[in-house]
Amino acid sequence: MSESEPETATGAPESEGSWTGRFVALFTPVFAVFAGWVAGVIGQHVPGAHLDETQLTTFMVAATTAFFGAGWKWLQGWQQHERMVAEGNAAPVKSTHRRNPPTRRGQ
């Protein structure tokens, strides 16, 4: 074990236990498609926005791409955070180790 890995009471290195990154990775495509759909609805129903079929498709693709880009950038930062936690340079959002194990009543 290297010096840069902090140890917990169990002796294992500290790691990230949050599911946030998994949810973002799973739902980014779903919300990206939803963003494209919303862009299409806005392009069709907003007064003064007279978009032909090509412009509407371009607007939908741009909204979907923007959402994918934002999700990708967030996941990139999350991976950097997980690396920093593994190296001991940052505290985890949710630890995989219990700091205070529960005690049994009556003891």
Position 89 scores a pLDDT of 86
The rounded distance, in Å, linking the Cα atoms of 92 and 13 is 12
Say which residues have a Cβ less than 8 Å from residue 39's Cβ, sequence separation at least 6: 59, 60, 62, 63, 64
Q: 7: helix, coil or strand?
A: strand
For residue range 26-82, list pLDDT tens digits in order: 999 999 999 999 998 888 888 887 888 899 899 999 999 999 999 999 999 988 988
Model confidence at 106: pLDDT above 70: no
Please state, in angstroms and rounded to a whole number, the distance separating the CA atoms of residues 24 and 74. Answer: 8
Q: What is the mean pLDDT of the chain?
A: 80
pLDDT at 1: 47
For residue 67, the tally of other CB atoms under 10 A from its CB is 20
